[in-house]
Amino acid sequence: MARPDHATRQAQPSPVDRAGGGQPLVTLENLTFGYPGGETILEDLDLRVRQGEFLALLGPSGCGKTTIMNLVAGFVRPRQGTVVFDGAPLRGINTRVGYMTQGDTLLPWRTVAKNVQLPLEIRATPRARANQLVDSYLGMLHLSDARDRFPSELSGGMKRRALLARSLIYEPAMLLMDEPFAALDAQLREALHRELLSTVAQLRQTVMFVTHDISESILLADRVIVLGTQPAGILAEVVIPFGADRDLAEIRLSNEYLGLERKVRDLLRQ
């Protein structure tokens, strides 16, 4: 199933290899960032994310991963260099991205359906169309039975899925995910990884995913960028060859996966 029929969405990236070709959707050029009067957090960073790609940023805590996300979201501005989004330099808040963090940003006074519908209300999507979209996204993320529940009535996994639905429903050009599953137990995380991958594949969604978990980055991404500590720079780039319709359970046991994990671990240790 492709993204539920949407006229507004721009041309899809060709479904050819996700890590390969493709136009860059985001380009960070020569980027330096630090808070006013504070130390430099990022220095001379160059980074490209291609259309349809699943990119993971991997690094120890405090290495500036979240800062990169905030730069792409337009919450903060670089000290030097530019963020080019879809061909134009970014100014102000980037309303063409969806952002999912570790925190619970569901509005507690709205039901699941109303939370998921929120971006459509803000974008003044006609009601009939909005209802249709809410139904299809809730269905896609297995939340149809929970549509009338309040966030306080949801389990941790359901909250994550509701947040994912809300971040995707307005068809953002790019989905930013900042350790979205960090607070969950291993089993639930695995289930959500599978769900995320199938959703991303269905929608051919471009994703930038921040994590400090090596296996998570390898299992999910097409390309892993390994970051060093402050001021952060790119240590290495590892291409993950598993493709979009990967079987996570099988990959985990493969020698290829173990080799990649060892490689990344060694890189981080340097």
Partner 1 sequence: MTTTNRLAAEPTAVGASERRPVPRKRRESGLTNTRLWLWRIFLVVAFVVCWELASGRIVSELMVSRPTAVAERLWTWITDGTLGEHILVTAQATGLGFALGAGAGMLVGYITASFRRFGDVVEPAMTALYTMPRLALAPLFILWFGLGMQFRVIFASVIVFFLVYFNTHFGVKDVKGELIAAVRLMGASRREVAIKVVIPSALVWVAAGFKLSVPYALIGVVVGEMLASDQGLGYLLQRSANQFNASGTFATIITLLVIALLLDFILTRLTGRFLGWRSKGALNPL
Q: Write down the least CB distance from residue 228 to partner 1, Å.
A: 27
Q: Could you tell me the two tokens for 137?
A: 């996204």
Q: Write down the least CB distance from residue 6 to partner 1, Å.
A: 16
Q: Write down the least CB distance from residue 250 to partner 1, Å.
A: 34
Q: Write down the least CB distance from residue 178 to partner 1, Å.
A: 11
- Residue numbers at the binding site for partner 1 (CB under 8 A): 73, 75, 93-95, 97-99, 101, 103, 105, 107-110, 118-119, 121-123, 149-153, 170
Q: Write down the least CB distance from residue 122 to partner 1, Å.
A: 5
Complex with partner 1: residue 152 or 255, whichever CB lies closer: 152
For the chain, the straight-line distance linking the first and the last C-alpha, in angstroms and rounded, comes to: 43
Q: What angle do CA 127, 86, 103 make, to 5 degrees?
A: 60
Complex with partner 1: residue 59 or 119, whichever CB lies closer: 119
Complex with partner 1: residue 94 or 217, whichever CB lies closer: 94
Q: Write down the least CB distance from residue 236 to partner 1, Å.
A: 30
Please state, in angstroms and rounded to a whole number, the distance separating the CA atoms of residues 153 and 155. 7
Complex with partner 1: residue 18 or 160, whichever CB lies closer: 160
Please state, in angstroms and rounded to a whole number, the distance separating the CA atoms of residues 224 and 71. 19
Query: Closest Cα partner for 53 from 240, 190, 228?
Result: 240
| Pairing status of strand 206-211 against strand 54-58 | parallel
Greatest Cα pair distance in the chain: 55
> What amino acid is encoded at 142 in this protein?
H
Residue 211 β-bridge partners: 58
Complex with partner 1: residue 73 or 83, whichever CB lies closer: 73
Complex with partner 1: residue 19 or 176, whichever CB lies closer: 176
Complex with partner 1: residue 107 or 258, whichever CB lies closer: 107
Please state, in angstroms and rounded to a whole number, the distance separating the CA atoms of residues 53 and 76. 24
* Cα-to-chain-centroid distance, residue 108: 23
Q: Write down the least CB distance from residue 66 to partner 1, Å.
A: 12
DSSP H or E stretch at residue 167: helix 156-168
Complex with partner 1: residue 63 or 120, whichever CB lies closer: 120
Query: Which one-letter DSSP state was computed for residue 182?
Result: T
Please state, in angstroms and rounded to a whole number, the distance separating the CA atoms of residues 224 and 205. 17
Q: Write down the least CB distance from residue 208 to partner 1, Å.
A: 14
Burial class (CB in 10 A: 0-12, 13-18, 19+), 134: buried
